[in-house]
């Protein structure tokens, strides 16, 4: 792993500061509460599918109804919360480019990792990452903290674009930092880490057009695959033919499959989607389902092939899609929301046939958050803070509309934990549950 001397010096200082941070919060660390069932440990939860087995989530809520707690955040962000035991982890940024405020001085940009108490939303500790400048002077809409953390029983991992990948223990002590590239984009950096075995997998399309595997314990680079272009989605693991586990992600014009142990590109499949790719894929029984593109598009591909598998493994293609949020797979059907039209879709997973396309009411405006599935319901969240509950079945039935609008923007995807929803805006984190 290549790291210049200046970054080594900065990281050494951060380590010292981290010891101070750890000492201040050591007494607040809940023992034996890391890694329990019901965790939501990464973007879109266990397996990255946006599906929870929990029941008892509220059907309705508002600013005065079913709010268990509400925490003001120290900065903005579009990342999603994750949950490990009695801890919530969330990223944000301060000092520059805050929505509704003067842009400020780029040298004051700071990115933060927050640890909050799951039961009451109080901040347990707050770590500030070193920022590598120059950064992108203007990031459209999403800001400088759009990558959702990932965590296991030992560490929490966070990706801050060209500033690197960081690992901390659950007391807030920084353990290592790794560089994955130095490029920036006017759309920012948004792909989130996933954990597979002893590896942290990073989509560094923006930073170096690479897919990178790092050792979870040390940050050492294990392998790097190139050619990852115009991809803002989070990779997914799938079992291919013969039960071999592969890593799959979407790039401009293609789905790609990689060997997990070496990073070797195993196969590619044309998507017929001529746009950058933001939605993450979902998988089931060796089939990869992908939507994307401002121009629309969807497809299903059987994993496990070799070379160009467009003719041999592509099962179907469709013309409807979404440019931002990721789909849900449930009961043989795919569900997703268009980012701007306020339309939600249901398609047959086996054929791609659209079963319904219906407008949510009242009109939601834009939807960037990926919906979640729990208790037989789909939970959609608009950027305005409007929540829609739709029955998870191939006949459209909107069960509720909920208004949580507070003047802020909701871009983070919901997390499900303990029969409650965690909803993040660029100003607040809400815990919503039955009261």
Tell me what the mean pLDDT of segment 408-434 comes to.
97
Number of domains in the chain: 1
For residues 217 and 250, the answer to whether their CB atoms sit within 8 Å is: no
Looking at the predicted structure, is the pLDDT value of residue 157 above 80? yes
For residues 425 and 408, the answer to whether their CB atoms sit within 8 Å is: yes
What confidence score (pLDDT) does residue 244 get? 86
For residues 255 and 272, the answer to whether their CB atoms sit within 8 Å is: no
Looking from the CA of 366 toward its CB, the CA atoms found within 13 Å total 11
Tell me what the mean pLDDT of segment 375-390 comes to.
98
What confidence score (pLDDT) does residue 379 get? 98
Q: What is the dihedral of CA 19, 212, 324, 272, to 10 degrees?
A: 180
End-to-end CA distance of the chain: 50
Tell me what the mean pLDDT of segment 206-233 comes to.
97
Q: What is the CATH number of the domain that holds 74?
A: 2.40.10.480
The CA-atom distances, in angstroms, between 20 and each of 8, 28, 204 are 19, 14, 31
The CA distance from 422 to 383, in Å, is 15
Looking at the predicted structure, is the pLDDT value of residue 190 above 50? yes
Question: C-alpha 211: how far from its chain's center?
Answer: 16
Indicate whether 228 belongs to any domain.
no
The DSSP code for 59 is S
The encoded tokens of residue 117 equal 């108490």
Indicate whether 401 belongs to any domain.
no
Indicate whether 212 belongs to any domain.
no
Run of H or E residues at 21: helix 5-25
Neighbours of 12 (CB within 10 A): 9
What confidence score (pLDDT) does residue 251 get? 97
Residue 11 burial (CB < 10 Å; 0-12/13-18/19+)?
middle
Indicate whether 256 belongs to any domain.
no
The CA-atom distances, in angstroms, between 156 and each of 65, 91, 99, 162, 175 are 32, 12, 27, 19, 10
For residues 30 and 86, the answer to whether their CB atoms sit within 8 Å is: yes
For residues 160 and 180, the answer to whether their CB atoms sit within 8 Å is: no
Indicate whether 353 belongs to any domain.
no
CB-based burial, 21-38: b 16+ in 10 Å, e otherwise? bbeebeeebeeeebeeee
**The model's pTM:** 0.92
**β partners of residue 196:** 199
Tell me what the mean pLDDT of segment 390-415 comes to.
97
Report the mean per-residue pLDDT for the chain. 92
Share of the chain above pLDDT 70, in %: 91
Tell me what the mean pLDDT of segment 335-342 comes to.
97
Looking at the predicted structure, is the pLDDT value of residue 32 above 60? no
Residue 170 burial (CB < 10 Å; 0-12/13-18/19+)?
buried
The pLDDT confidence band at residue 37, using thresholds 50, 70 and 90, is: low
What confidence score (pLDDT) does residue 27 get? 34
- Least reliable range by pLDDT among 32-41, 83-92, 211-220: 32-41
What confidence score (pLDDT) does residue 349 get? 98
The CA distance from 162 to 171, in Å, is 25
Indicate whether 49 belongs to any domain.
yes
- Least reliable range by pLDDT among 20-29, 166-175, 276-285, 359-368: 20-29
What confidence score (pLDDT) does residue 329 get? 98
- Least reliable range by pLDDT among 5-9, 178-182, 354-358: 5-9
What residues contact 69, with CB distance under 8 A and at least 6 apart? 120, 121, 430, 431
Tell me what the mean pLDDT of segment 121-125 comes to.
98
What confidence score (pLDDT) does residue 295 get? 80
The pLDDT confidence band at residue 36, using thresholds 50, 70 and 90, is: low
Looking at the predicted structure, is the pLDDT value of residue 410 above 60? yes
What confidence score (pLDDT) does residue 20 get? 34
Instruction: Give residue-wise pLDDT tens across range 248-261.
Output: 999 999 999 999 99
Indicate whether 433 belongs to any domain.
no
Indicate whether 286 belongs to any domain.
no
The DSSP code for 46 is G
Residues of the domain holding 161: 1-197
């Amino acid at each position: 792993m290549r790291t210049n001397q200046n970054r080594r010096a900065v990281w050494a200082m951060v380590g010292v500061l981290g010891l101070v941070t750890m000492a201040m919060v050591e007494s607040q660390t809940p023992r034996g509460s890391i890694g329990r069932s019901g965790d939501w440990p990464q973007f879109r939860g266990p397996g990255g599918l946006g599906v929870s087995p929990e029941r008892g989530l509220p059907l309705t809520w508002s600013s005065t109804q079913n709010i268990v707690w509400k925490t003001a955040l120290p900065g903005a962000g579009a990342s999603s919360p994750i949950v490990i035991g009695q801890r919530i982890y969330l990223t944000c940024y301060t000092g520059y480019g805050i929505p509704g405020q003067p842009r400020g001085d780029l040298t004051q940009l700071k990115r933060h990792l927050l640890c909050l108490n799951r039961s009451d939303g109080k901040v347990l500790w707050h770590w500030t990452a070193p920022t590598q400048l120059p950064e992108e002077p203007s990031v459209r809409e999403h800001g400088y903290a759009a990558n959702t953390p990932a965590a296991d029983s030992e560490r929490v991992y966070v990706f801050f674009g060209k500033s690197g990948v960081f690992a901390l223990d659950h007391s807030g002590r920084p353990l290592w930092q790794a560089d994955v590239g130095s490029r920036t984009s006017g759309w920012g950096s948004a792909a989130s880490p996933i954990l597979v075995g002893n590896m942290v997998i990073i989509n560094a399309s923006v930073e170096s057009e690479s897919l990178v595997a790092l050792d979870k314990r040390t940050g050492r680079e294990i392998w790097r695959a190139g050619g990852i272009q115009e991809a803002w989605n989070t990779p997914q693991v799938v079992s291919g033919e013969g039960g071999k586990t592969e890593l799959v992600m979407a790039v401009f014009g293609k789905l790609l499959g990689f060997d997990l142990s070496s990073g070797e590109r195993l196969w590619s499949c044309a998507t017929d989607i001529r746009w950058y790719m933001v939605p993450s894929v979902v998988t089931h029984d060796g089939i990869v389902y992908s939507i994307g593109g401002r121009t629309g598009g969807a497809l299903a591909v059987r994993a496990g092939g070799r070379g160009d598998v467009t003719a041999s493994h592509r099962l179907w293609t469709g013309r409807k899609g979404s440019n931002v949020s990721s789909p849900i797979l449930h009961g043989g059907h795919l569900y997703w929301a268009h980012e701007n039209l306020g339309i939600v879709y249901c398609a047959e997973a086996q054929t791609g046939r659209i079963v319904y396309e219906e407008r949510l009411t009242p009109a939601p405006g834009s939807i960037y958050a990926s919906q979640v599935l729990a208790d037989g319901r789909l939970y959609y969240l608009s950027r305005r803070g409007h929540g829609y509950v739709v029955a998870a079945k191939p006949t459209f039935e909107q069960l509720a509309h909920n208004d949580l609008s507070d003047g802020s923007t909701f871009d983070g995807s919901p997390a499900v934990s303990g029969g409650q929803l965690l909803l993040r805006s660029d100003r607040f984190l809400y815990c919503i549950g039955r009261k």
